[in-house]
Amino acid sequence: MRYWLFKSEPSTWSWADQLAKGAAGEEWDGVRNYQARNFMREMAVGDRGFFYHSQKAREIVGIVEVCAAAHPDSTTDDDRWDCVDIRAVEPLPHPVTLDTIKSDPALSDMVLVKNSRLSVQPVSEAEWRHICGLGGL
């Protein structure tokens, strides 16, 4: 299994919105960046991801699971853009903030730190375990 991080502006699509979709999940649509799209194409059903709130909140708030492999993004006719579906698994008891991540030497190589603009990104297994620990899981 691989691990990922999905970034969203809470004013556009929040963890609460994701939770409300329940087990059915929802398309992670609207991505118009090749790197992010390519990562989604690499995802397999069952892969886990962090749900990160960008902008004002700037923290990892929950765990999601990929529940459909990459398929055409229904929000565009442009066949360049694919997306996966994800569903909420559980919230982090203690959200892990960007400040915490940036000040933790174990997480200094995270894509979130090095390329803050990439909206879908891989997370290493070590990073995953470390953040789950910080988050109270």
Partner DNA sequence: GCCAACGTTGGC
Q: At 72, give phi and psi (nearest 5°).
A: -60, 140
Q: Which helix (H) or strand (E) holds 18?
A: helix 15-20
Q: Which is nearer to DNA, 56 or 105 (CB)?
A: 56
Query: Exactly one of 6, 7, 60, 84 binds DNA (CB under 7 A); which one?
Result: 7
Beta-carbon contacts of residue 13 (< 8 Å; ≥ 6 apart): none
* SS3 state of residue 36: helix
The pattern of x and - marking residues 104 through 133 that bind DNA according to CB under 7 A reads: --------x--xxxxx--------------
Shortest CA distance to 112 belongs to which of 134, 133, 94, 127? 127
| Binders in 74-103 for DNA, by CB under 7 A | 98-99, 102
Q: Which is nearer to DNA, 9 or 125 (CB)?
A: 9
Residue 74 DSSP code: T
Is 56 a binding residue for DNA by CB under 7 A? The answer is yes
The pattern of x and - marking residues 16 through 55 that bind DNA according to CB under 7 A reads: ----------------xxxx------------------xx
Structure tokens at 128: 């995953």
Total chain residues near DNA (CB under 7 A): 19
Query: Exactly one of 48, 58, 87, 94 binds DNA (CB under 7 A); which one?
Result: 58
Side-chain-side CA neighbours of residue 14 (13 Å): 8
Q: Which residues bind DNA (CB under 7 A)?
A: 7, 9, 32-35, 54-56, 58, 98-99, 102, 112, 115-119
